[in-house]
Structure 1
Amino acid sequence: MARIAMTTPLVEMDGDEMTRIIWQMIKDDLLLPYIDLKTEYYDLGLENRDRTDDAVTVESAEATRRLGVAVKCATITPNAARVEEYGLKQMWKSPNGTIRAMLDGTVFRTPIIVRGIEPVVTSWKKPITIARHAYGDVYRNTEMRIDRPGKVELVYTAEDGTEQRELIHQFTEPGIVQGTHNLDSSIESFARSCFDYALSTKQDLWFATKDTISKTYDHRFKDIFADTYENEYRSRFEEAGIEYFYTLIDDAVARVVKAEGGFIWACKNYDGDVMSDMLSSAFGSLAMMTSVLVAPDGTREYEAAHGTVQRHYYKHLKGESTSTNSVATIFAWTGALRKRGELDQLPDLVDFANRLEQATRKTIESGRMTGDLARITTLPNPTTLDTEGFILAIRDTLETGVE
């Protein structure tokens, strides 16, 4: 059977540890037998990022902007222990943070719903989508360790040389300090992406920050969302029969756990990181969530929302069996392939992406799944498969037909 042809490459960003192993299995067993896969490959494994002084991360983001669609494997953001473990030149910044800053997009994360994997919050009947701002905050911060008494100030120097100063803290003992920033243009892009996504999916949009405490930084987000809604989107939301409202982040958490779902929850960068992990775990598993970065020009980068599964990787290196959930990584590939097919008008590629997702769901619903899902499923007598066995079971489902 002839493989499906592609006309434009995807940007392929390889990653680290167990997800790197899964990445290759997915390509070998689920993609290459069916697709004449065209990718522009970038190795974002930690060793190569260190070798290239992280230039490879910048190059991958530039390629994504040029080709329009990318798919990314999970990567390590090194801490001090990782610097020592890998013998790194320095503690490199998050590659996701670098890519998101360059593309200036919004990350939309939605749980993957499968029969037999029920949310732990019993009121949730529909998926809840997290819309995460993808620029600034702690991901682009500057930090200092304060080792003696002294004064730390926030200083703004205008182009004409005039200064504005605010005291951060008068240190009388050692401590720490950090500075974060954001841009009106990026917040405006974030707001429009959220409003557009809500209209395209006909879902209510919630936005939450902590403007009662952060009266300038968070309040600026609130004001830009409110102005953008009133000036550009209110009539369109009313016509679509959907709602936008703002609330404090702690109030939003209280509302979410009592809601039935079916809405979009927009969050600042770090809030979105934490809340998307909470939602994915509560819906079933960190490995059961889609994640796509949508840039203002329509560029998209698909990825898994979880980390590199370090514990399983160490077991793999010892030759021990692992049962690692590959669903989010499979759906990163299918999302990218579907979008590439839509842009290049390749219906066979779109159809394959849809069928692979259906085969993945159908495999789990048949009772064949990885250990993390077997421990929480409501299906009777599930079969726990190892990492590759699960991927091969999906291939078997794909080969035997997907209804």
Structure 2
Amino acid sequence: MKIQMKTPLVEMDGDEMTRILWKDIKEILLEPYVDLNTEYYDLGLPNREATKDQVTIDAANANKKYGVSVKCATITPNAQRVEEYNLSQMWKSPNGTIRAILDGTVFRAPIMVSSIKPAVRNWTQPIVIARHAFGDVYRASEIRVEEPGTAKLVFTTDSGTEFVEEIARFEGPGVLQGQFNKDKSIESFARSCFEYALSENKDLWFSTKDTISKKYDHRFKDIFQEIFDAEYKARFDEKGIEYFYTLIDDAVARVIRSKGGFIWACKNYDGDVMSDMVSTAFGSLAMMTSVLVSPDGNYEYEAAHGTVTRHYYKYLKGEETSTNPVATIFAWSGALRKRGEFDENPDLIHFADDLEESVLQTIEDGEMTGDLILLSDHPDKKKLSSTEFLYAIRSRLDAKRAAAL
């Protein structure tokens, strides 16, 4: 008998190879065991174009309604994609739109297996990246300057007072970008990080570049310190864990020399870049969990990587692919587990645990996709296609579920 779900899960479909894997994961690993109850949103680029990106907004609001969502990787179009997909405009990042609506913090952690050693040999424990999920370059306004002129930063208060700061004098063509953030969002970012550190019993590092950005980045530093001193220092001391701030360039050096086992909080773009660095150093971009936690207690699970375009073009030619689906599977398992926790559904929680254990056991047994073959030191490893890998997981999941009866 299939496991029943009490409340819908918000399902956000995506693009290219990950969209293909999304369908296969559901058919092979989820639907045989769970009577999936989802509210479906197609965030594939053609549908975002057809709806003028309203579907992305609707999906984010559905997440706020139901509390838990799972998202497939999506394309953030550039000029080449505009032409390829015949888009009316260069639509913004769906992740950026969703994060702007939900606010909160993205926590990303490597999925570790014993046969794949980190590229940084002294990393023996996971490094969790806590990425702020609001504002900065993802909500920036941009101007292409074509002729000489003066760039100014202008802020007008509701009472009519105007503040003007000259940015630069342009003698010829150039580009401008205006970024912003808000104290409220930075405060929720700080509290999310402190709460997560306490729940995981891990040290928390936070880094920006306040020596250069003396107002923008310095505001992040000040808010973190003020909230820590007022609300969290005693709790951290009681747990025996540490919070400290350092410049991001110093943090990078410290991270490389460390053994891991801590949470590294970063601003939005910094977290985007550093999570890719950490995941790649631990093994593969497809071996990293990612969850957005909003201050309202809403959760959005996703894979931290992109749509695997190169494999998608091979798939369209009818060629065999060996695309790693682990991060996407863990997005589903994470969302199902959280849905089970919210609905007090232990069967759903147990299934999520079994699914993740089956994935890891498959890799530990030496059966894996091409990206992991290059990294694994398993003595008897075997490269599987995307579909073969899913069925290898299925066989272990069947055995695990049967043994529990």
- Pairwise same-fold verdict (TM > 0.5): yes
Which residue is 1:304 aligned to?
A: 303
Percent identity between the two aligned chains: 66
Which residue is 2:385 aligned to?
A: 386
Aligned equivalents of 1:401, 1:365: Cα separation in 2: 15
Runs of 4+ in 1 over 6 A off after TM superposition: none
SS of 2:154 mapped into structure 1: strand
Which residue is 2:41 aligned to?
A: 42
Which residue is 1:146 aligned to?
A: 145
Give per-residue Cα distances to partners, 1:350-396, cap 9 Å, x unaligned: 00000000000000000000000001101113100001110110001
Give per-residue Cα distances to partners, 1:63-89, cap 9 Å, x unaligned: 000000000000000001000000001
Taking structure 2 as the reference length, the TM-score comes to 0.99
Q: Which runs of 5+ in 1 are unaligned?
A: none
| 1:161 positional shift | 1.7
| Matched letter for residue 287 of structure 2 | M
Which residue is 2:31 aligned to?
A: 32
Aligned length: 402
| 1:117 positional shift | 1.1
Which residue is 1:135 aligned to?
A: 134
SS of 1:329 mapped into structure 2: helix
SS of 2:4 mapped into structure 1: coil
| 1:333 positional shift | 0.1
Aligned equivalents of 2:278, 2:48: Cα separation in 1: 31
Which residue is 1:53 aligned to?
A: 52
| 1:129 positional shift | 0.2
Which residue is 2:232 aligned to?
A: 233
Between 160-169 and 308-317, report the one with greater CA deviation: 160-169
Aligned equivalents of 1:272, 1:375: Cα separation in 2: 26
| 1:123 positional shift | 0.6
| 1:297 positional shift | 1.3
Give per-residue Cα distances to partners, 1:163-191, cap 9 Å, x unaligned: 11111110001100100000000000000
Which residue is 1:246 aligned to?
A: 245
Q: Which runs of 5+ in 2 are unaligned?
A: none
Which residue is 1:400 aligned to?
A: 399
Which residue is 1:180 aligned to?
A: 179
Which structure 2 residues correspond to residues 105-124 of structure 1 after superposition, within 5 A?
105-124=104-123
Alignment pair present for 1:10 and 2:4: no
Aligned equivalents of 1:223, 1:77: Cα separation in 2: 33
| 1:401 positional shift | 2.4
Alpha-carbon RMSD? 0.8
Give per-residue Cα distances to partners, 1:90-145, cap 9 Å, x unaligned: 00000000000100110000000111011010110100000000000000000000
| Matched letter for residue 99 of structure 2 | R
Which structure 2 residues correspond to residues 186-265 of structure 1 after superposition, within 5 A?
186-265=185-264
Aligned equivalents of 2:167, 2:361: Cα separation in 1: 55
SS of 1:323 mapped into structure 2: coil
Taking structure 1 as the reference length, the TM-score comes to 0.99
Aligned equivalents of 2:400, 2:228: Cα separation in 1: 45
Which residue is 1:295 aligned to?
A: 294
Which residue is 1:327 aligned to?
A: 326
Alignment pair present for 1:317 and 2:316: yes
Which residue is 2:167 aligned to?
A: 168
Which residue is 2:366 aligned to?
A: 367
SS of 1:203 mapped into structure 2: coil
Aligned equivalents of 2:54, 2:206: Cα separation in 1: 35
Which structure 2 residues correspond to residues 270-285 of structure 1 after superposition, within 5 A?
270-285=269-284
Which residue is 1:346 aligned to?
A: 345
| Matched letter for residue 104 of structure 2 | G
Which residue is 1:82 aligned to?
A: 81
